[in-house]
Amino acid sequence: MEVLSSATSTYPRFTLYNPKKPFSSTFKPIIISQVHPWKYFPGRNVEARLLCRISYKRTNLDESGRCSSSDAHSKPEFWFRTLCGLNKSFPSQSGFFALRHGHPLWSWKTSVHQKVESRPQKIRQHISVVFVRLVVAMLLVSSASVALGSTPSWALSEENLLFLEAWRTIDRAYIDKTFNGQSWFRYREDALRNEPMNNREETYTAIRKMLATLNDPFTRFLEPEKFKSLRSGTQGSLTGVGLSIGYPPGSEGSRAGLVVISAAPGGPANQAGISSGDIILEIDNTSTESMGIYDAAERLQGPEGSAVELTIQTGPEIKHLALTRAKVSLNPVKSRLCEIPGSEKNYLKIGYIKLASFNQNASTAVKEAIDTLRSNSVNAFVLDLRDNSGGLFPEGIETAKIWLDKGVIVYICDSRGVRDIYDTDGSSAVAPSEPLAVLVNKGTASASEILAGALKDNKRAVLFGEPTYGKGKIQSVFQLSDGSGLAVTVARYETPAHNDIDKVGVIPDHPLPNSFPKDDDGFCGCLQDSASACYVNNVKLFSK
């Protein structure tokens, strides 16, 4: 048997030749490329790719091997005996022509590359494909069970369930979805297998250990009493010395202690002369050099009337102070009307508003202060955010809406970029047009920085003072089923001008004199007495 082809012909002829009874069957396919030499085609298939459909008339053979036109059943032995050596392949662009020993098979397609296989080989291939698919399906099912299962296969105790509740809270809410470069699912499984959780204290220890792997000092565990104390602090009162503390700026490595962000007016620390910028070196003779801010806050709080000893550094001076804890009222707002001599265009009446913190009453108290001052026909406002260490994020947003007629307040971002936008359409505005100055210092932090940044970037206010603290992270508090809780870093924020203020702060437009007072009485005096060292011209105070 041989294959004859003409490379130069537009329609090469394929001839099938029987050595016993010479005959030929000829067809004219359009071949895309020259037929390859015989030696290049291993395999058992005879295939020719076609650009058109093939018209084929079956020819039957009689007992003598001669051709007949009968439609009776043909004897494939003779036909395919002559084709045994013709099991070769001819590739093309659009389909296949195939003849198979033992079974006449034809297959053609206009666009799909399809190859006709021998039946045993096809069965083996089909079984192989089914087997592979079965194995892959089993692997996928087992992988999904491990990755997505909410609990391990063994029975879980009540303590395990509390740990899992904390784990899921971090999994859903934490800002860094790499979880400080670790497999969060694997940590869960390892902790449930290896960490002792036989009682509540051991479970709390396991939760603290889990949070420590995040290397985030602002994400921490709160036992039931501490969680209750934190909530009471945002609701108007707290028993302690009245200090808001933080880490010194730029303290990535070693640090001397903890910095005072602000001292609550009238609180024990404020009365003892402690102010923002002071460094707490020791609390009850325990160094704060490696102490976390929340550990320090717990040490500063305590029963009303109890004592606490502090070692404070103010500039080069070191002081040892004994303070008595008291219930510190966190009334967030104080206001005052300052009347300035001069012409009407120099804003004779200025409304001064001191906003000390953002508890749940903050925005309502600011509105009330504005209404009271307006009843006295004020011409402009001064909003004092110095030593305001923040508080409730929603209250910071609501306070910004009071002063803005429209615009972005803050962008909330996570590891993938901007996640949410807080803005206002002016529907909540109370004082969107009067001249406004905002006072800030290094004790201005967190929610108060959001407010200051929004007012500056929207060109609603002029900022005076010094760069703010630079806390650009947002924490949310989550309560667990046993009354404990988690404070979790859920996002970072950017000002409307897309400034990331973390560890940088909001930069004011103008400085204030070093001697500029922080109380309302002193503020009015500095505007009224042009001979005083703290004097600020009231016209310049509102010049943008």
Q: Are strands 326-329 and 317-324 parallel, antiparallel or unpaired?
A: unpaired
Contact predicate 144/184, CB 8 Å: no
Structure tokens at 52: 């058109």
For residues 220 and 216, what is the distance between their CA atoms, to the nearest angstrom?
8
Burial profile 310-333: b = 16 or more Cβ within 10 angstroms, e = fewer: bbbbeeeeeeeeebebbebebbbb
The 3-class SS string of 60-104 reads EECCCCCEECCCCCCCHHHHHHCCHHHCCCCCCCCCCCEEECCEC
Q: Which residues are catalytic?
A: 446, 471
Neighbours of 521 (CB within 10 A): 10
The single residue listed with the structure tokens 């009850």 is: 284
* Closest of 129, 131, 218, 120 to residue 170, by C-alpha: 218
Given 3-state DSSP classes, what are the helix, strand and coil percentages for the chain, each rounded to the nearest 5? 30, 20, 50
* Closest of 215, 219, 164, 231 to residue 490, by C-alpha: 219
- What sections of 237-386 are H helices per DSSP? 268-271, 293-300, 362-374
Contact predicate 403/455, CB 8 Å: yes
H or E element at residue 157: none
Contact predicate 59/87, CB 8 Å: no
Q: Could you tell me how far CA 507 lies from the centroid of its own chain?
A: 26
Contact predicate 528/449, CB 8 Å: no
DSSP 249: T
Structure tokens at 279: 């460094």
For residue 104, CA distances in Å to 59, 72, 90, 101 come to 12, 16, 17, 7
CA angle, residues 300, 354, 332, in degrees to nearest 5: 50
Query: Residue 220 forms beta bridges with which residues?
Result: 487
The single residue listed with the structure tokens 């699912």 is: 185
One-letter amino acid at 210 equals M
Contact predicate 123/80, CB 8 Å: no
* Closest of 267, 246, 266 to residue 257, by C-alpha: 246
Contact predicate 362/332, CB 8 Å: yes
